[in-house]
Amino acid sequence: MTNKTSAVDIFIVGGGMVGSALAARLAPSGMRIALLENRAPTPYDPASAPDLRVSALSPASIHFLEQAQAWFAIAAMRSAPFRRMQVWENRRDQGTLFDAAEVDAQWLGHIVENRLVQLACLEVLQHHENVTVLCPDEVSQISYQPGGSRISLKSGQAFEAKLLIGADGANSQVRKAAGIALDSRQYPMHALVATVNIEGGERDITWQRFTPDGPQSLLPLPGNHASLVWYHRPSEVRRLLTLEDDALLDAFRVHFPAALPEITGLVQKGSFAITRSHATSYARQGVALIGDAAHTIHPLAGQGVNLGFQDATVLSELLLNAWQDKKPVEALTLLKEYERKRKLANHAMQRVMDAFSYGFSNDIAPLRIARNLGLRLANHDGPLKREVIRYALGLKTLSLSIALNLFPK
């Protein structure tokens, strides 16, 4: 017996942070939406320690989550707002302090566990009968067709969608099914991540230091927790992960700046490789890519998920306007407009992150002098420093022309 095929206007593959938030933003329109996610997030437990996977959400991303009716639930669980960011070179200097107050903002962002964003967005979707949440379930086959793609699931269900959206990460099945190529390369470093206990409780500041081996970061989390990120050679990250907890904590204390809060304990640890990728196209007739399915960047500035939310913001606005005007949401002209608005901006940010990764992760004398000068210039109040803060807030989009002028290939 053949299962009936359900018809939907939009099928979103990938119910992580960006995919579920996009679905929540579109849900009130009345569109028939299906959202597929292969792993159900575990329920929130306020007594549990923060997750290993966290993101620094910019005010622009938070605004999108507010539009999706999800931010209130996230804030009711837990997040760590920060209004300052301390950045310095691997030298005995004062570094550069960025403060949201310099652009009359309340904060630079919030550090939030990825799972809590996903939980809040899925909760929103439960209140919309026009949305079908398929979680957990997996794709069995995607047959892309410009006039309506067919998605077969391992559960036996099948759907036909006017518009297929790939929010399914760097190894996107949607991107592959649509025949969209990917330009990809790995950086020569891995990231060690750890949730740690710190002395003195929650702070409102993030710390980042650049060293010849790679950046080091400490991000505030609720209570007496923080998220530590240590970029290093893959072999060194593997070695560090083999250490006993006490030995690893000693390594943190030795190699991270003394100006940081005292690290008193290790909750959990992990690592991941760092890849830069960019799809050759974000859209074809009846298909669109968002988030990591379209692009990945070096995570040192925490902009990856914020770029994904910017994708979702632009795409949702175009889709909602088209739906209201009774125009086809799968139209190539509409989807290419989304690509036009996002692809160059994402490419510009990739160029900047590449420049930071190379420019700071070495000890070449001319580059060391130039970056020290740059940090000193940025440490003075003025237009340059305020522009950097506005980019961090998501209040401005970096143009490709500026990126190419600042950081030529």
pLDDT band at 92 (very low <50, low <70, confident <90, very high): low
Residue-level pLDDT at 96:
82
| Lowest model confidence (mean pLDDT) among 17-21, 30-34, 361-365 | 361-365
- Domain for residue 358, yes or no? no
Residue-level pLDDT at 378:
47
Residue 101 pLDDT more than 70? yes
CA gap 282, 290 in Å, rounded: 7
Point out which residues pair with 190 in neighbouring strands: 232, 273
| Residues in Cβ contact with 65 at an 8 Å cutoff, skipping those fewer than 6 apart | 21, 57, 71, 74, 117, 120, 121, 309
- Domain for residue 25, yes or no? yes
| Lowest model confidence (mean pLDDT) among 155-159, 298-302, 343-347 | 298-302
Collapsing DSSP states into helix, strand and coil, what is residue 86?
Answer: strand
- Domain for residue 116, yes or no? yes
Residue 364 pLDDT more than 50? no
pLDDT band at 375 (very low <50, low <70, confident <90, very high): very low
Owning domain of residue 261: 5-348
Torsion of CA 169, 17, 4, 141, to 10 degrees: 10
Residue 220 pLDDT more than 60? yes
| Lowest model confidence (mean pLDDT) among 1-5, 47-51, 121-125, 138-142 | 1-5
- Domain for residue 366, yes or no? no
Q: Residues 4-14: what's their mean pLDDT?
A: 97
Residue-level pLDDT at 386:
58
Residue 222 pLDDT more than 60? yes
Q: What contacts 24+ positions apart, CB below 8 Å, involve 304-307?
A: 304/55, 305/17, 305/18, 305/55, 305/57, 305/61, 305/114, 306/55, 306/56, 306/57, 306/58, 306/60, 306/61, 306/394, 307/345, 307/346, 307/349
Contact 154, 137 (CB under 8 A): yes
In 68-152, which ranges are continuous DSSP H helix?
Answer: 71-77, 114-125
CA gap 299, 53 in Å, rounded: 12
* Rama region for 28: left / alpha / beta (φ>0; ψ in -120 to 50; rest): alpha
- Domain for residue 234, yes or no? yes
In 98-232, which ranges are continuous DSSP H helix?
Answer: 114-125, 173-177
- What is the tally of structural domains in the chain? 1
Residues belonging to the chain = 409
pLDDT band at 377 (very low <50, low <70, confident <90, very high): very low
pLDDT band at 203 (very low <50, low <70, confident <90, very high): very high
Residue 140 pLDDT more than 50? yes
pLDDT band at 34 (very low <50, low <70, confident <90, very high): very high
pTM, rounded to two decimals: 0.90
- Domain for residue 276, yes or no? yes
Contact 265, 321 (CB under 8 A): no
Amino acid at 188: P
Which CATH number goes with the domain that contains 23?
A: 3.50.50.60
DSSP state of 391: H
Residue-level pLDDT at 205:
94
pLDDT band at 353 (very low <50, low <70, confident <90, very high): confident
Residue-level pLDDT at 38:
96
Q: Residues 310-323: what's their mean pLDDT?
A: 98
Q: Residues 48-59: what's their mean pLDDT?
A: 94
Determine whether 75 is exposed, middle or buried from the number of CB atoms within 10 Å of its CB (0-12, 13-18, 19+): middle
pLDDT digits (tens, 9 = 90+) for 147-188: 899 999 999 999 999 999 999 999 999 999 999 999 999 888
Residue-level pLDDT at 409:
45
